[in-house]
Structure 1
Amino acid sequence: MATEIKAPVFPESVADGTIATWHKQVGETVSRDEVICDIETDKVVLEVVAPADGSLVLIAKNEGDTVLSNEVIAQFEEGSAPAVSTQSSEVKESVEVASSKTEAGASAIVEREQVQHQAPSVRKVLTETGISAEEVQGTGRGGRITKEDVVNHQSKPTSAPVSPQVAPLSMAVGERIEKRVPMTRLRKRVAERLLSATQETAMLTTFNEVNMKPIMDMRQQYKDLFEKRHGARLGFMSFFVKAVTEALKRYPAVNASIDGDDIVYHGYYDIGVAVSSERGLVVPVLRDTDRLSYAEVEAGIRGYAEKARDGKLSIEEMSGGTFTITNGGTFGSLLSTPILNQPQTGILGMHKIQERPMAVNGEVVILPMMYLALSYDHRMIDGKEAVGFLVTVKELLEEPAKLILDL
């Protein structure tokens, strides 16, 4: 007896999702808890797993289709793979036709099925370029073909010239190639939120700079002992998270948010750390940072970075947050103006550490300096508070002993 497989129950903040990838097709054997499908929402990618050992007997929602919370997306049967007669009509038809055709005709049908089982965007690229799915070496999960695989295959030199009849139009000599790719749901959501922040807030940015030498010296001295003791590398982010947390205690307006005509002052410190992933920018949240040790902060950030890379972040891990830190210095940015992560009223931008000549006690000294940028909502935070907050962060970073000793 077939069992219905349904989409997960989405949180209230997520209206629907899109079938991103089917990792298993009708008739394929699957093990219990093995991932059979990915559903992409505007926040995370959710995995749907097999309820038991068995196989799919019907796929109700194809890749690219929109699904609602708890909607049926497939049917599953426990035990060994079902007979051909229980497969979906599409696959059944392909098998029947293949059995009645010659070997060449059967190969063409197999090729058509291989194309159909790819993501919509991949099918589109294959069609446009005239490349057969059998020619492309897939590097995706389960050997599936990605758009990058098609592009890389297209750019490979061939041993024999391609005849004009089958040469893709986009490869004509002198033609300027364009590639149109639909936005992912996450990318569209990020775009909406950033545009909303610029249009609906009175955003202003103030700048300062911090001498990173004291932290770099401390890190150099204790990083090996720290890692041996706590099993986590001592980076710069833990110092920034703890400095921001202390500054938020002194300037509670920066830790507040605006809800309609109300100001909500938060009595806790949940710091979001912006992480760049292949799917786009995500902001997982470190909870109660005033109670976390430096080692716990470092371990938390590392864990989130790994989850973001693998697309494993949950909606709960990215929900909430009272303040955000973003580090453009990872990519070499020297100075930028970060955009608010609504409904938060402040975001701190870190940047590249660069040696510069600085005047210290009347002498020119080369120091590793970092520009800091604080973007804030001027409706909620006055310039005096914003500057005071940023100066506090600067002072705590330049004298990390005060931060550690709670001075």
Structure 2
Amino acid sequence: MTTEIKVPVLPESVADATVATWHVQVGDSVKRDQVLVEIETDKVVLEVPATSDGVISEIREGEGATVLGEQVIAILEAGAAAAPSADKEDTPAKESAPEGQVQDILVPVLPESVADATIATWHVAEGDSVSRDQVLVDIETDKVVLEVPATSDGVMGKIIHAEGDTVLGQQKIAELIAGASATSAPTAAPAEEASSGDEVASPSVRRLMTEKGLSASDVKGTGKGGRITKEDVEAAVHKSASAETKSSPAAVTPANSALGERSQKRVPMTRLRKTIANRLLEAKNSTAMLTTFNEVNMKPIMDLRKQYKDVFEKTHDTRLGFMSFYVKAVTEALKRFPSVNASIDGDDIVYHNFFDISIAVSTPRGLVTPVLRDSDQLSMAGIEQGIRDLAIKGRDGKLTMDDMQGGNFTITNGGVFGSLLSTPIINLPQTAILGMHKIQDRPMAVDGKVEILPMMYLALSYDHRLIDGKESVGFLVTIKELLEDPTRLLLDV
């Protein structure tokens, strides 16, 4: 059966997207839920998984191609199998450590500002066969998630620290029996076909397991070689809920029986989520926060982008999105209103003579704000590339403490998720944050006539202790004027 692989539905504020990376080629066998391609928009990277097992028979759009929402980019022959390749017989085997050698699995070195970390998710269990570079465990700090890979092929030995345990840098958390196989290891389970970390579960399935509070050892994979599918995760959740209900018969009442199965699951809050919660609460309680609003006609930028996006991408090898215009406008406005680029330190006001912009990025584990540094020295292409790199690192859990620290002002774009209007919360110790929203056609009065224009609401939340109403309104009006006449951004007027 032929299945079309399509670009996901794009948010209304996103006009088009770019094919970033193909992870498969024509003729490759793929598994259900395996990530085939990454599609890049202005701010987020979307993963497109296979809907069934099969073989890729055609790729219509190569890397770098500009595509639209729901556009067909490839063809999958469901249920087919790839022809055996003679080349695979000539592939040299990986070097492995001496069989039976016990290797210690250690927590990575933590940044100086991080005292300890938490075991977030074990992706393997004792007795599992593992491959070199396969991710064994995720270690979570206050802001970043560190992946610990296997240093060689082998079998998992003793797991010393379980999920939820607090650990220190370079602390031993498990053992790996290098060079061994599952059938020869003392803790062996029945031998199964060895799988790499990506083959055990796709990134989307791994995220689903994290959301449900499950590890790979909690889920029985029914795919080839023990591969875990989304259905396997849902089955494990259902089984866990059923077990909890049976273990507490007093909780089941006749009313519950009439309504069907009703259950709930309690899981501990992750470190990152706790940090986000504490910082948001601190911002609300320790600042005199107000929000002012305005709106901007996006037609000039959309027309300019439509005219030059192809030549821009060809020249700079990166797509022209909306975020580079936003960052340019914010940087210019910060130059004109120094108090918005300042912070409060005790009884002092610290004015910054540099422009580091925090960009809110949505990741599988929560909202983070990595920093785009020296935005005043970056070209439009440099801004686009910098934001793209931060978004990819955020999605993959690769953001470092250096990526997260600092920042004088934050831009958050809820419009990519469909938000029409919001009041963003200040990212301490900054004194202001700008919220961008969904671009929506609205009837507007222009020179006494009604025109339908693509409009977007702007929201500036600011600390009234430092920024007066006049300054906040002037700052927001400056951004509006620059976005409605983007030529001024290029001429610096």
TM-score strictly above 0.5: yes
Which is higher, the Rg of structure 1 or of structure 2? Answer: 1
Residue matched to 2:119: 19
For 1:6-405, what aligned pairs fall within 5 Å after superposition?
6-81=106-181, 91=187, 121-122=213-214, 133-134=219-220, 137=222, 143-144=227-228, 149-150=233-234, 154=238, 172-175=257-260, 177-182=262-267, 183-405=269-491
Please list every run of 5 or more consecutive structure 2 residues that lacks an aligned counterpart in the other structure.
1-100, 191-208, 240-244
Taking structure 1 as the reference length, the TM-score comes to 0.79
Q: Deviations over 1:357-379 (max 9, x none)?
A: 22222222221111101001111
- Which is richer in strand? 2
Cα distance, 1:74–1:153 mapped onto 2, change above 3 Å: closer
Residue matched to 2:7: none
Cα distance, 1:12–1:145 mapped onto 2, change above 3 Å: farther
In the alignment, residue 214 of structure 2 is paired with which amino acid?
V
Q: What is the aligned length?
A: 361
Structure 1, 267-276 or 342-351: larger mean CA deviation = 267-276
Q: Distance in 2 between matches of 1:294 and 1:216?
A: 15
In the alignment, residue 11 of structure 1 is paired with which amino acid?
P
1:259 Cα offset (Å): 2.1
Residue matched to 1:106: none
Q: Distance in 1 between matches of 2:214 and 2:127?
A: 23
Cα distance, 1:305–1:9 mapped onto 2, change above 3 Å: same
Cα distance, 1:143–1:314 mapped onto 2, change above 3 Å: farther
Q: Distance in 2 between matches of 1:284 and 1:148?
A: 34
Q: Distance in 2 between matches of 1:280 and 1:147?
A: 24
Is the 8 Å Cα contact of residues 128 and 182 (structure 2) preserved in structure 1? no
1:328 Cα offset (Å): 1.2
In the alignment, residue 325 of structure 1 is paired with which amino acid?
I
Please list every run of 5 or more consecutive structure 1 residues that lacks an aligned counterpart in the other structure.
99-117, 127-132, 156-163
Cα distance, 1:285–1:374 mapped onto 2, change above 3 Å: same
Is the 8 Å Cα contact of residues 335 and 351 (structure 1) preserved in structure 2? yes
Q: Give RMSD over aligned pairs.
A: 3.3
Q: Distance in 2 between matches of 1:249 and 1:148?
A: 54
Cα distance, 1:138–1:261 mapped onto 2, change above 3 Å: farther
Cα distance, 1:23–1:405 mapped onto 2, change above 3 Å: same
1:400 Cα offset (Å): 0.5
Q: Distance in 2 between matches of 1:207 and 1:84?
A: 67
Q: Distance in 2 between matches of 1:385 and 1:296?
A: 29
Secondary structure in structure 2 of the residue aligned to 1:397: helix
Q: Distance in 2 between matches of 1:313 and 1:228?
A: 28
Cα distance, 1:78–1:229 mapped onto 2, change above 3 Å: same
Secondary structure in structure 1 of the residue aligned to 2:214: helix
Q: Distance in 1 between matches of 2:270 and 2:141?
A: 9
Residue matched to 2:29: none
In the alignment, residue 170 of structure 2 is paired with which amino acid?
N
- Which is richer in helix? 1
In the alignment, residue 254 of structure 1 is paired with which amino acid?
V
